[in-house]
Structure 1
Amino acid sequence: MDTLADRWKLLEARTTVVGADDDRPRPAVILFHGCGGLRDHLPRYAAAAKAAGWRAFIVDSWGARGWSRELALLTVCTGLMLRGDKRAGDVLAALDGVSRRRDVDSMKIALAGWSHGGWGIMEAMSADRRPRSLGLADPGAVDLGGVLAVYLAYPYIGPAALNRMRPWKHCPKTLAVISRADHLTTVRNAENVHAMVRNCGADVETWVAEGTHAFDEPGASPPMRYHPELADEAERRFVALLEDVAVAPQP
């Protein structure tokens, strides 16, 4: 079973760093893609974070494992492999690895997840993190105290997300994006889940976007549909969340 260090070693090789060309400790946001793998919209969010003075780390969880998009669609998107509780191991390992970098302010971290990535973040926030849970030997060894914000873009909270109503152990400021026409959840279900998160003491803002699941992903396949205006608004809200929780040094 992986330790945090083992998992980060695996992921680091397929993690893209976007940020100012300096070594100043900057706030950092770690981005986790959906079940279909890394797509074109995450670099756009990373570039927006860079423009705001943050460092962004795009974690390619499937590439790190040598998985193709086709394999992920057949296995991860169908729930056969690597459900959200195991993806939480990637979230914790990336948090641990990124927090140790000299060019990152370890007390100013944001986590951002799209669909399956959001599921993984929610599992990481709510789990007891006992030894050998979440697919890690030592999940409790990483400190969540530096996580100031969470961005959840239409996170998966369907029937397979068995722990979706489990209270969070760490409660940072959260922006939860709900898609009105999401084929994976109802708005009511999403609002109930996010209300549970709010009850732990987190400052949770919800935005119901008038689009489908993955509305910000160019080339999204039916029943999903790319909506450029909503994508722009999602990016704006993403940056506003970052700027709400930390002042970044300018280049």
Structure 2
Amino acid sequence: MKTLSLWKLLLLMLLLMAVAIAVYGWPYRNAIFVTPKSGEQIAAELTPYFQLFKPEGKGPFPAVAVFHGCAGPEADLSLPRAAWLTRQGYVALLVDSFTGRGYQRSDVCSGTRFWGNQRVADVYAALSYLRDQPEVDGDNLALLGYSHGGWTLLDALAYDDERPIGALQATPGGLRGVKAVVAYYPYCEFPAHSATGWKANIPVLGLLAGQDSVVDVEACLRLFERMQAENKALDYELYAQAEHVFDAESRPDYYDPVAANKALQVMADFLERQLASN
């Protein structure tokens, strides 16, 4: 009996070791086993690195919060877009989700850390910050995301008033004032929370690349068609010959000036229509 008990103990130890190796040695553990944070903690990580740009004049102006891709807040991509938004008459808030947390491009782009569903809490923090700015019309807000940022925004629509992963509590009304969402070449598959659809019926514009080698554009097309069938306020454009990051002049291997300019015009019309009508 003592020998049998010893074998059971050894087997239990081996099982626990196997579980520990599976969990702690698995490359995706940091993306799945997330320590939830309060809204105050998340704001403290983000706010020092917010960049706010505003048009000339007194305001208050409608505002657009901009969420970068998995490569992080690249100045040669984000600053031109902020300048473009201010020329259109919007306050632009560039949201840096990496610097305050010490995240690296290689970890996030590989999917081993910080999935879009965890980043949803950053959306609430950015919107709360914008509502507190005297030059911002808090009832006329928009969200703009690229790749990983687009994934984040669609997931924010999917969570709506539910608690997203990575947050200690739900944020009821966290999307208050948002009248438009623009997602450039987002990720639309599992583990995206929005992979099966979203709840909030905020007008969405999707700008997709037909030759995307980074995300599965067909998954986005299926998702968008499903959302349209459910009468969600959604429009999308598919640039059939375009690659991922087709709008980035700093990426000459991907940059498609024709598609980039068409997408900008479509977005300009969309934002003017949604924000001016409220």
TM interval, shorter chain, is: 0.7 to 0.9
Give a deviation string over 1:3-56, Cα, whole Å, max 9, x none: 223312321211111112455221110000000111222222222221121101
Extract structure 1 runs of 4+ deviating beyond 6 A: none
After TM superposition, the score normalised by the length of structure 2 is: 0.79
Q: Which moved more, 1:232-241 or 1:137-146?
A: 137-146
Q: Which sits farther off after the overlay, 169-178 or 22-31?
A: 22-31
Matched, 1:11 2:46: yes
Return closer, same or farther for 1:165/1:9 CA change in 2, 3 Å cut-off.
same
**1:123-138 alignment runs, 5 A limit:** 123-127=155-159, 129-131=161-163, 133-138=164-169
Contact 2:187 2:220 in 1 (8 A): no
Q: Which residue of 1 aligns with 2:114?
A: 82
1:90 positional shift: 0.9
Indicate if the aligned counterparts of 2:38 and 2:167 stay in contact, CA closer than 8 A. Answer: yes
Q: Which has the larger radius of gyration?
A: 2
How far has the Cα of 1:142 moved from its partner?
4.0
Could you tell me how far apart the structure 2 residues matched to 1:17 and 1:211 are?
Answer: 30
CA contact (8 A) 1:111 1:151 kept: yes
* Cα distance, 1:142–1:66 mapped onto 2, change above 3 Å: farther
Matches within 5 A, 1:137-156: 137-156=168-187
Alignment partners' CA distance in 2, 1:117 and 1:128: 16
* Structure 2: distance between partners of 1:59 and 1:14: 7
Residue 16 of structure 2 aligns with which residue? none
Distance in 2 between the 1:18 and 1:128 partners? Answer: 27
Residue of structure 2 equivalent to 1:179 = 209
1:232 to 258, 261, 266: 261
Aligned CA distance change for structure 1 residues 63 and 170 (closer, same or farther; 3 Å)? same
CA distance in 2, matches of 1:160, 1:56: 29
% of aligned pairs identical? 28
CA separation in 2, counterparts of 1:218 and 1:150? 23
Match of 1:62 in 2: 98
CA contact (8 A) 1:171 1:200 kept: no
What residue identity is the alignment partner of 1:9? A
What corresponds to 2:188 in structure 1?
A: 157
Moved more, 118-127 or 198-207: 198-207
Aligned to 2:83: 47
SS in structure 1 opposite 2:238? strand
1:42–1:235: structure 2 CA closer, same or farther, 3 Å change rule?
Answer: farther
TM-score (norm 1): 0.86
Match of 1:244 in 2: 273
- Whether contact under 8 Å (2:189, 2:195) holds in the other structure is no
Give the root-mean-square deviation of aligned CA atoms: 2.2
Runs of 5+ consecutive residues of structure 1 not aligned to the other structure: none
The match for 2:59 is 24
1:190-240: CA deviation from partner (whole Å, max 9, x where unpaired) = 21111233344332111111210111123338xx61222322222222222
Shift of 1:186: 4.0
1:198 is aligned to 2:198: no
Alpha-carbon distance in 2 for matches of 1:166, 1:185:
16
- CA shift for structure 1 position 105: 1.2
Q: Deviations over 1:136-182 (max 9, x none)?
A: 12332443231110000000124443x33333221111110110100
Q: In the alignment, is the contact (CA less than 8 A) between 2:53 and 2:92 conserved in 1?
A: yes
Structure 2: stretches of 5+ with no match in the other structure: 1-35
The CA distance in 2 between the partners of 1:38 and 1:8, in whole Å, is 17
User: Is residue 2:251 matched to residue 1:220?
Assistant: yes
Determine if contact 1:23/1:102 at 8 Å carries over to the other structure.
no
The one-letter amino acid paired with 1:35 is C
8 Å contact from structure 1 (residues 218, 226) kept in 2 = yes
Whole-Å separation in 1 of the counterparts to 2:187 and 2:275: 27
State the structure with bigger RCO (CA 8 A, min sep 6), 1 or 2. 1
Instruction: Please tell me the residue identity of whatever aligns with 2:256.
Output: H
